[in-house]
């Protein structure tokens, strides 16, 4: 089994090293990831400037490639250039992200976008995130990912679908209560722009803001994490609202 691994935290992030080491026990791994932090990069790709690639060695000795582009760039480049058309991956794994990708986070997430790019290329793909705060222990999430990869290879995935996985980061004495198959919950942020002035007197802005504490819907990924369960959400990236098709045909548009 050939496994392409990427992320949005950067090629030297501890989460990618942990999952690469775990997946190395079940297949041949290829690590192609951004050369720096690219969180919230979404599904952007690089069109108007060149990509640079630098070979790296992860702390566990696994060879990796740092790419100057986005997570989606990395998956495209990894499939086409690092592995090659005759050696396509059997599965794409993105992560392990340091922090959650729940609810509407998936619209911005570079972690999820890397997995979606794999699915666009016709390859089963999963995105994995660890919910919590530093310091992170990726051990259990990495072990679960290896189990899930084997299940995906055994059972397959529908076309244009990725699995978005969130694993609760536990405090000492806590245990994971199990795994739930979930929907995306509702997650909103109260956005604020912090205005500052640089040494030359020019204004600049930092996007800030706090998560709004919404009541988690039953069966959602947010509820599962709050109750110390691993969340596995199947995502389909056909954005068509089919319920509105017939209504729109009744509009006077010609």
Comparing CA positions, the residue from 60, 6, 50 lying closest to residue 30 is 6
The response to whether 109 counts as a known ligand-binding position is no
Q: What's the average model confidence in pLDDT over 180-186? A: 95
126 closest CA partner among 138, 104, 141, 136: 141
CB 64 within 8 A of CB 11: yes
The token pair at 18 is 């942990």
Domain ranges of the chain: 2-185+215-249
Task: Please state the rounded mean pLDDT for residues 179-195.
Answer: 90
Reply yes or no on whether the pLDDT at 213 is more than 70: no
* Model confidence, pTM: 0.93
**pLDDT band, very low/low/confident/very high, at 214 (cuts 50, 70, 90):** low
State the average pLDDT over residues 83-88: 92
Assign 207 a pLDDT band (cuts: 50, 70, 90): confident
Torsion over CA of 168, 172, 176 and 182, rounded to 10 degrees? Answer: -20
CA 34 – CA 9 distance, rounded (Å): 7
Site of tokens 């089994």: 1
CA distance 13 to 105: 20
What is the per-residue pLDDT for 237? 85
Span 159-185, average pLDDT = 92
The number of angstroms, rounded, from the C-alpha of 149 to the middle of its chain's C-alpha atoms is 15
Correct CATH for 2-185+215-249 of 3.10.290.10, 3.30.70.1400, 3.90.1150.10, 3.40.1210.10: 3.40.1210.10
Per-residue pLDDT tens digits for 216-250: 899 999 999 999 999 999 999 888 999 999 999 99
pLDDT per residue over 92-141, tens digit each?
999 999 999 999 899 999 999 999 999 999 999 999 999 988 899 999 99
On whether 39 is known to bind a ligand per the annotation, the reply is yes
Residue 206 falls in which region: left (phi positive, over 0), alpha (psi -120 to 50) or beta: beta
CA distance 250 to 244: 10
Q: What is the pLDDT of residues 11-55, one digit of tens each?
A: 999 999 999 999 999 999 999 999 999 998 999 999 999 999 999
Query: Can you tell me the distance from the alpha carbon of 149 to that of 135, in angstroms, rounded to the nearest whole number?
Result: 26
**Residue 97 annotated as lining a ligand binding site:** yes
Instruction: Please give the structure tokens belonging to residue 212.
Output: 């709004």
Average pLDDT over residues 192-211: 89
Sequence-ordered strand ranges (E) for the chain: 2-6, 28-34, 53-57, 63-67, 91-98, 125-131, 161-168, 179-181, 188-197, 203-212, 230-236
Q: Of residues 160 and 191, which shows the higher confidence score?
A: 160
């Amino acid at each position: 089994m050939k496994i392409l691994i990427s992320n949005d935290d950067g090629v030297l992030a501890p989460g990618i090293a942990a999952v690469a080491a775990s997946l190395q026990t079940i297949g041949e791994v290829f690590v192609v990831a951004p050369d720096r932090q690219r969180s919230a990069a979404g599904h952007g790709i690089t069109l108007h400037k060149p990509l640079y690639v630098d070979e790296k060695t992860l702390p566990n000795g696994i060879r990796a490639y740092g790419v100057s582009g986005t997570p989606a760039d990395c998956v495209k480049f990894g499939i086409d250039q690092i592995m090659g058309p005759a050696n396509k991956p059997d599965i794409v794994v993105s992560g392990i992200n340091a922090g959650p990708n729940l609810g509407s986070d998936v619209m911005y997430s570079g972690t999820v976008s890397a997995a979606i790019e794999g699915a666009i290329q016709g390859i089963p793909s999963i995105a994995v995130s660890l919910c919590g705060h530093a310091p992170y222990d990726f051990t259990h999430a990495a072990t679960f990912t290896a189990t899930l990869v084997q299940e995906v290879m055994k059972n397959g995935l529908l076309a244009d679908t990725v699995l978005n996985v969130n694993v609760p980061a536990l405090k000492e004495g806590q245990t994971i209560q199990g795994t739930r198959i979930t929907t995306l919950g509702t997650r909103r942020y109260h956005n604020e722009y912090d205005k500052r002035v640089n040494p030359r007197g020019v204004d600049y802005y930092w996007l800030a803001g706090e998560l709004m504490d919404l009541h988690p819907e039953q069966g959602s990924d947010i509820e599962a994490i709050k109750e110390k369960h691993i969340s596995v959400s199947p995502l389909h990236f056909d954005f068509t609202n089919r319920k509105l098709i017939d209504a729109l045909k009744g509009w006077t548009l010609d």
